[in-house]
Amino acid sequence: MSSTSPRVPSFPVTESIRQKLADAFHPQVLEVINESHMHNVPKNSETHFKVVVVSEQFDSIKSPLQRHRLVNAALATELEGPVHALSIVAKSPAQWESNQSIPASPNCKGGDGSLPKKSSAS
């Protein structure tokens, strides 16, 4: 599956996340979605991400907590730095085969003193 994220050098964090997840999990499916535009941050920010990782490594790791910990660990540098929010979908190939849905991320509620995105409802 091809990614929807732009593959241009002006998105270094997105590139770095993609590279690190590819190296760590050799995924069959890898998507790095920059969701920063859904939040009240400057245009072209790289702060809020969703990643979809489908890997055979998750065949033997059933616990979602352990899977997410591995993904967090692979992206520790990014999470300590520019990345403010990371939503994770980590599945085994069999799980992905039976259910390819990616949960929608919730609307921003303006935490951290930032305001909800102006175009959002209410």
Binding positions for another protein, rule: CB under 8 A: 64-65, 68-69, 72, 76, 79-80, 85-89, 103, 105-112
By residue count, the chain amounts to 122
Helices (H), the chain: 12-25, 64-74, 76-80, 93-98
**Residue 42 or 113: which CB sits closer to another protein?**
113
**C-alpha 100, offset from chain centre:** 15
Provide, rounded to whole angstroms, the least separation between the CB of residue 54 and another protein: 14
Structure tokens belonging to residue 118: 């102006």
Provide, rounded to whole angstroms, the least separation between the CB of residue 69 and another protein: 7
Provide, rounded to whole angstroms, the least separation between the CB of residue 64 and another protein: 5
**Residue 6 or 64: which CB sits closer to another protein?**
64
**Residue 18 or 89: which CB sits closer to another protein?**
89
Distances (CA, A) of 69 to 1, 37, 120: 24, 26, 32
